Structure 1
Amino acid sequence: MKLINPNPFTTRPEIVGTFGVVTSTHWIATAVGMGILERGGNAFDAAVATAFTLQVVEPHLCGPGGDAPLILHDVRRGKTEVVCGQGPMPAGATIAHYKGLGLDLIPGTGLLPACIPGTFDAYMLVLRDYGTMRLADVLSPAIGYWLNGHAIVERATATIATVAEQFRNHWKTSAAVFLPGGDVPKPMSLFRNVTLGNTYARILKEAEAGGGGREAEIERARKAWSQGFVAEAIDSFCRTQDVMDVSGKPNRGVLTGQDMAKWQATVEAPLTYDYGRYTVCKPHTWTQGPVALQQLALLKGFDLDGMDPTSPDFIHLQVECLKLAYADRESFYGDPAFVDVPMETLLSDAYNADRRELVDPAHASMEQRPGKVDGFGGVVKLRRADGVRLGVASSGAGEPTVGRVGQTNGDTVHFDIIDKDGNMISATPSGGWLQSSPVIPDLGFPLGTRGQMFWLEEGLPGSLAPGKRPRSTLTPTLAHRDGKPYMVWGSPGGDQQDQWITQHFLRHVHCDMNLQEAIDAPAWHSEHFPSSFWPRTARPGVLVLEGRIPKDTVAELKKRGHEVEVNDEWSEGRLTAATRDDPWRKAAANPRGMQGYAAGR
């Protein structure tokens, strides 16, 4: 008997249980997180174990030298909070320093774009303040995979192949790790990073050496990272190594051990927006996260209930609204510790009523149209893809691509977890990609390159300054429904993250799709807005559709003026999502890329 799927928009069942769910961009990380829940850990313990494991199994997408925003709801405290694992730029990272090197953009690779690595301290803060387990409980699975090996995925080997010559010719410390025996590892072959496993094993050993409870262990681990042997190795490497980058010449880094010793992860309140029954929560403007809130503020003025999610109207309205939101991102967003961002105005009914009038239901805009708020914002001048300078902020593709040798943009990972008590957490770790910067030989991992998101022009919200956080594309999401914490979700994908995140939410809310259906439905992204990644180029009007979008829709979108490109059938986003709808815990994961899985019971 032939089984027929009644819904063409789904590939897998939505996971449903009462005990807990874990969903991530790699099946091993999901299994590790679920194992923590099974052993009595809470969602936050599972999150830390999952995050460390993702560093092992997706080294082309995240690493210890990168960054990680997290958003969580702690039932015990009754609060939704954001943990900032985005390290700022070092004290020596001044516009004058970079311009003195003959640069007009911060390179996308090498040592110059390195921020203070933020992942480790953020995970230690989560474990200490929200978790219940000891450091060894959550770190040992990752150490085991580093030392004993794991099956390396095809996309990781493809990334290594793209930068293999860069490794052989310039980044020989990376070649020693990622080209075992001098060759690109074969997909699904056993891959190890013993040096990195030993780095974490040493941190664990030093943490456990002084006795005391779990909090004391965690504090010693933080010190080993930011003031001990890890910081010393990073300081030495940045001071002594001239590293080839995309500028075409070798440069030394500016990150120091003193920078690392002065920084710790922080906790802050989220930004929120009410959309019908839902309150959507995002990190502040040190991420691009509020563009999702701005899209909702604009879309709230349209009747989307019951729309076909692959119809031209459903797609066109979202695209035209996101163009306006992303234009504001470029004009207004920056680290709120340095930049006064008028978020109250940007999310206000009056502002969005005026902005909504710019949406033409029959024609695609080719302009960059940031709003005007007196006394705020700035105009960014960017290169278009053909090299022509534009007068206003323009666009680029951003993550997740690996371009020519030495030109790399990496990608990201994501996970969502809800435990039996209803604690929930969403995180989008990224940076420190194997292709971003050479491996520090004493540690076994490279630094991140998030600093490429700053501008070397004075007076902009995103202008470079020492101690300033870059306006990251990383953007986990949490929503309340009817006043109760309900859903966590997100996706890798750089500038596209808050497009896919918003699409998923709208399909779930307006199209009556469950989590898996909303993930699997044909998706798309616009490249109309400024790229956050070197070389910051522009593709005005470009709309990339999955090949499963109906031909009639494609034709109508072209008729409305979109510069349509049709991609592969399963090519857009790597979403994961989880919900709490008592007594149920539900989860789903993206089938694209053949890596993401959800688990639960």
Structure 2
Amino acid sequence: MTEFTTRPEILGTFGVVTSTHWIASAVGMSILEKGGNAFDAAVATGFVLQILEPHLVGPGGDMPALVYSAKTGKVEVICAQGPAPAGATIEHYRTEGMTLIPGDGLLATVIPGAFDGWMLMLRDYGTMSVRDVLEPAIHYAEHGHPMLPRVSATIKGLADFFEKEWPTSFETWLPGGVAPEPHALFRNPVLAATYTRIVKEAESAKGRENQIDAARDAFYRGFVAQAIEDYLKTAEVMDASGSRHKGVLTAADMAGWSATVEAPQTLDYHGWSIAKTGPWGQGPVLLQSLALLKGIDVAAMDPLGADFVHTVVETMKLAYADREVYYGDPAFANVPMEQLLSDVYNDERRGLIAPQASMQLRPGILPGFEAQHALTMEMLGSMSGTGAVYEPTMSHLTEKRGDTVHIDVIDRDGNMVSVTPSGGWLQSSPIIPGLGFCLNSRAQMFWLKPGLPTSLAPGKRPRTTLTPSIALYEGRPTLAFGTPGGDQQDQWQLSFFLRYVHHKQNLQAAIDMPLFHTAHFPGSFYPRTSQPGNVMIESNIGPAAIKALKAMGHDITEAEPWSVGRLTAARRDTDGLLRAAATPRLMQAYAIGR
């Protein structure tokens, strides 16, 4: 089919960087130009995004990364998803009057993991110093950056709440009592001072690796952790429950935790091998979807046709249903990924994909897991809430919910990074005095019912929606891709990947094609609602496809063209040619390379 692109697919041989903000991509490219590798570039890009898109990511957030090192020849996962604090028990939250963990405030906080993850990536895979990678973020925080209209709108929408309930946030985001206007220069001098002090303390040690470890100590065992504990000892703040609550995070929780490296979960599909996080994240739903689609002739379908959309949506409904029953932190739960990805299981499940849209949540029942399946379905059946809950990627629905950013980098040596940082949004919780940033709200993804893989427990990782991807072709690391968007992340990635693999679109063309997703299953974010049978689809897919999908029984919500998803992607060919692309949606993401 004829390729249409909104901008060129970027080509080069030296390096490519693509992210959800043009300044961040430029910063990453500048690191490559200075002699840094893909990992150095990703770290610097990630810290700058905290400054540029504070409604989507912050220093108190979390970060999973897929990395490929040309030196070791391995694809690995960096897990910087902080777990629940020691005081985060179901009993405590129940005594606080909770039936669901709210989507903001202090009870929703887990250990902030992003900083340690970035430092681990820098130390073990990168080449540069703490100063090298933090200086760009310090510059934009101290001297100013152009305020995105979406950030301005978010702050204005929260101004009264901040002034009344979260005064430290009011002071930070509305300096002088005035919300920043779109495109005006905005500064966060307190955050700049925090990162400047971390650099100074790092440089009191000798040697690059020792300096990086000193920076980690400053954050998790030094002045940052102490400032967080000092605030949380007395702070009692309003959250989405409608009441004020204290947090349970302590400096001891932070001091005893560090990011880790683990093997990815993988699946082979038509010559490709796709690597994702383990089931402590939602990443395996992409693999389960592909395992189902292996037995369907996707290549024969029109990638803009109703049959393609219907098949992909019905496939995702099945994969996400299994997520609800089986996924969770493998350190706390037996997650049967081998069975869930097996041909035997998926050959049987594939028969559930019918010509008409399903209205039921249909997780599989695996031997030995019958009680877990029944408990999950009983709990979900007792929930009455319906209606979609989205992050602000869905800009036409909300300006106030937190979201995510994404980065893909490949350098000339073939090192590769796909990383989806998130959390610590300006909407999450109040600014910590003296630090210039707030904590995350990732604990909202736990259930307060015992006996589930995602039941709240101290030390357990929440089942994050953050899900970067690296794909190998014929055993060679080839493609890095991802998107913000919460529960929609793997849905948008799936349609992108299928169109790229089966319909031979270039990266930009595959990203530009109309996107769709379903909210059929329970959302991961408070208040955990669902819309059975729902499909949201960009209207530029065409009236014929939409009419046909409605005839198949789908509950269609038409989105404006160019309003769904924020995909980015990068590729390395066998001859060393590098490619990159970024979505035109929201007019922020950019790919850069040469």
SS in structure 2 opposite 1:486?
A: strand
> CA–CA distance in 2 between the matches of 1:292 and 1:97?
35
Give the aligned partner of residue 313 of structure 1: 307
Larger deviation: 237-246 or 372-381? 372-381
> CA–CA distance in 2 between the matches of 1:517 and 1:86?
32
User: How far 1:441 sits from its partner (Å)?
Assistant: 1.5
> CA–CA distance in 1 between the matches of 2:588 and 2:489?
18
SS in structure 2 opposite 1:334?
A: coil
Q: Pick the aligned partner of 1:596 from 586, 589, 592.
A: 589
How is 1:31-42 mapped onto 2 (pairs within 5 angstroms)? 31-42=26-37
Q: TM-score, normalised to structure 1's length?
A: 0.96
Give the aligned partner of residue 250 of structure 1: 244
Q: Pick the aligned partner of 1:380 from 376, 381, 388.
A: 376
How is 1:321-332 mapped onto 2 (pairs within 5 angstroms)? 321-332=315-326
Relative to 1, partners in 2 of residues 1:577 and 1:401: Cα closer, same or farther, differing over 3 Å?
Answer: closer
Q: Pick the aligned partner of 1:365 from 351, 354, 358.
A: 358
User: How far 1:398 sits from its partner (Å)?
Assistant: 3.6
Deviations 1:412-457 (A, max 9, x none): 0000000000000000000000011110121000100000000000
Give the aligned partner of residue 547 of structure 2: 555
How is 1:473-512 mapped onto 2 (pairs within 5 angstroms)? 473-512=465-504
> CA–CA distance in 1 between the matches of 2:161 and 2:62?
24
User: How far 1:204 sits from its partner (Å)?
Assistant: 0.4
Asked if 1:353 is matched to 2:353, the reply is: no
Asked if 1:229 is matched to 2:223, the reply is: yes
How is 1:16-55 mapped onto 2 (pairs within 5 angstroms)? 16-55=11-50
Task: Say whether the 8 Å CA contact 2:3–2:505 is kept in structure 1.
Answer: no
Deviations 1:369-412 (A, max 9, x none): 0001122343435999xxx9459x98843423799xx9953110
Relative to 1, partners in 2 of residues 1:155 and 1:381: Cα closer, same or farther, differing over 3 Å?
Answer: farther
Letter in structure 1 aligned against 2:169 = S
> CA–CA distance in 1 between the matches of 2:187 and 2:526?
30
User: How far 1:182 sits from its partner (Å)?
Assistant: 1.3
Relative to 1, partners in 2 of residues 1:554 and 1:383: Cα closer, same or farther, differing over 3 Å?
Answer: farther
User: How far 1:306 sits from its partner (Å)?
Assistant: 4.5
Letter in structure 1 aligned against 2:46 = A
> CA–CA distance in 2 between the matches of 1:587 and 1:395?
36
Deviations 1:271-322 (A, max 9, x none): 0000011000000011000000000000111101153211000000000000
Letter in structure 2 aligned against 1:110 = G
Task: Say whether the 8 Å CA contact 2:392–2:400 is kept in structure 1.
Answer: no
Q: Which runs of no fewer than 5 residues in structure 2 stay unpaired?
A: none
Deviations 1:48-106 (A, max 9, x none): 00000000100000000000000010010110000001000000000000000111011
Give the aligned partner of residue 115 of structure 1: 110
Give the aligned partner of residue 3 of structure 1: none
Relative to 1, partners in 2 of residues 1:556 and 1:577: Cα closer, same or farther, differing over 3 Å?
Answer: same
Give the aligned partner of residue 67 of structure 1: 62
Task: Say whether the 8 Å CA contact 1:395–1:528 is kept in structure 2.
Answer: no
SS in structure 1 opposite 2:192?
A: helix
Letter in structure 2 aligned against 1:513 = Q
Q: Which runs of no fewer than 5 residues in structure 1 stay unpaired?
A: 1-5
Give the aligned partner of residue 537 of structure 1: 529
Give the aligned partner of residue 136 of structure 1: 131
Task: Say whether the 8 Å CA contact 1:401–1:409 is kept in structure 2.
Answer: no
Give the aligned partner of residue 263 of structure 2: 269
Letter in structure 1 aligned against 2:156 = A
Asked if 1:289 is matched to 2:289, the reply is: no
User: How far 1:159 sits from its partner (Å)?
Assistant: 1.3
Give the aligned partner of residue 147 of structure 1: 142
Give the aligned partner of residue 570 of structure 1: 562
Asked if 1:87 is matched to 2:79, the reply is: no
Q: TM-score, normalised to structure 2's length?
A: 0.97
Asked if 1:57 is matched to 2:65, the reply is: no
> CA–CA distance in 1 between the matches of 2:320 and 2:67?
25
> CA–CA distance in 1 between the matches of 2:310 and 2:211?
53
Task: Say whether the 8 Å CA contact 1:110–1:449 is kept in structure 2.
Answer: yes
> CA–CA distance in 1 between the matches of 2:551 and 2:273?
36
Q: Pick the aligned partner of 2:327 from 329, 333, 351.
A: 333
User: How far 1:162 sits from its partner (Å)?
Assistant: 1.9
User: How far 1:181 sits from its partner (Å)?
Assistant: 2.2
Give the aligned partner of residue 432 of structure 1: 424
Aligned residues: 590
| Aligned residues with identical type, % of pairs | 58
> CA–CA distance in 2 between the matches of 1:106 and 1:238?
18
User: How far 1:158 sits from its partner (Å)?
Assistant: 1.4
Relative to 1, partners in 2 of residues 1:513 and 1:8: Cα closer, same or farther, differing over 3 Å?
Answer: closer
> CA–CA distance in 1 between the matches of 2:387 and 2:497?
24
